[in-house]
Each structure stands twice: as structure tokens, then as C-alpha cells.
Amino acid sequence: MFESSMLFSLRLSLQVAVVATSFIIIVGITVAYFLARRNFKGKEFLDMLFTLPLVLPPTVTGYYLIILFGRNGFIGKQIYACTGWSIMFTWYAAVLASFVVALPLMIKTTRAAIETVDKSLIHASYTLGHSEFETTLRVILPLAKKGIMAGVVLSFARALGEFGATLMLAGNIPGKTDTMPLAIYSLAGSGEWSQANGMVILLTLMSGIFLYLANRYSKRII
């Protein structure tokens, strides 16, 4: 029993973190690109909005997400009306919570990395006939790779450890939405220290090893 519930939480945590990070990579790079390379009205406001989850208590972020995506939420109501389905208390909710909370780390590091790419390289690419999109793929992103990798690693680690917003949005349903941080919370609450110890050590080791490997990898780039 100990084995299987622990394995479930481990698998769920990884699944949530991988899916959330995939979305973070796509959305994070796109948003960071526009923040770094374009000037438009409200740019810094948008940056602030995306950064807020980094400083807000995760419970507050979770609260906003409930207001938006809950069954009676602004967006959630429409989804429920159309499909009869709600994201609340499913593992998708854990993905959404991890996504929103970890996204700022990706945007911040990627924006900084894109901004440090030498302007004359971008201009050179334009004068050589390459479109903005092609220039992004072949010049800007490869040169910003180190910062982007750092962003991916940090977001993944953050998504793996997400607790507060996940608790608000996905609940803590054993065998359904109890990711490792949530399972540890339950175990500690009911005084099952030996099992909690196992998970705490596992989560610490995983995060540590992952950061170490990613650091080594990102040093080899360029």
C-alpha cells in the first residue's frame, strides 16, 4: 500500500510537471519574445501581470484561478455549460495551477536572455533576407538557449514542487490529485512520519539531481 500510493504520487507529480512545463515552454517563449523585442502600450503592465504569481501567495493565485475556472467562474461557467465538465478537482487543475505559478520564471529568464542577444546579429539576419520568424528560430533562440534552458529547469522544478494553488484548485484527493507535495502534507498531518520521510527525501533528491544535471548541461551550451 505504501509503495503503490507513493508511486502514484510520484508518477502524477512528474506527469503534471512535464505537461505544465511543455505549455510553459510554448507560452513562455512567445510572451518573453514580445516583451523583449516589441514596444507596445501596456507592455510593462503585462510583464507585471505575468510576474504576479511569483510573489503572490500561491493560495491567492489559486483563489483567482477558482474565480476564473471554477464551475461558477467566468471561464469555467462557459466550459461547464458547453461540455458539462469542470476542471476543478481533476489532475488538469494541478497542471493549470503549476503552469500559472511556474510561468513567470520562464518568462523572466527568457526575456532577459533574448534581450542580451546582440542587435546587430538580428539586423544582419534581416539584411540577409531572413524573416523575423526565421531570425527568431535560427539566430535569437539558439543564442538565448542558455537562458531558456535555465528557465525550463526552474519552471520544471517549481511545477514539481507546486502546492498551494494546486491544493485550492485540484484538492487533495488520494489516488486522483495528490501530487507528492500534497501527499506529504497529508502524511505529516496524520503523523505517518516514516512514509513522509521517504517522499521528502525522494523529492529533495529528484529536484537536486535534476538541477545538477541541468546546470552541467547548460554550461556546455556555447
Compute the distance between CA of residue 51 and CA of residue 107 in angstroms, rounded to an integer.
8
Q: Which is closer to other proteins, CB of 128 or CB of 209?
A: 128
- 91 contacts: CB under 8 Å, gap ≥ 6: 12, 15, 16, 170, 176, 177
Q: Which is closer to other proteins, CB of 113 or CB of 159?
A: 113
Compute the distance between CA of residue 157 and CA of residue 33 in angstroms, rounded to an integer.
22
Least separation in angstroms between CB 118 and other proteins: 7
Q: Which is closer to other proteins, CB of 125 or CB of 172?
A: 125
Interface residues with other proteins (CB under 8 A) are 118, 120-121, 123-131, 138-139, 142-143, 222
Least separation in angstroms between CB 121 and other proteins: 5
Least separation in angstroms between CB 123 and other proteins: 5
Q: Which is closer to other proteins, CB of 4 or CB of 120?
A: 120
Residue 160 near residue 13, CB atoms below 8 Å: yes
Please report, for residues 45, 174, 181, 189, 204, the alpha-carbon distance to residue 167 in angstroms, rounded to integers and kept in the order given.
28, 12, 10, 14, 20
Least separation in angstroms between CB 147 and other proteins: 14
Closest C-alpha to 65, from 104, 92, 29, 105? 92
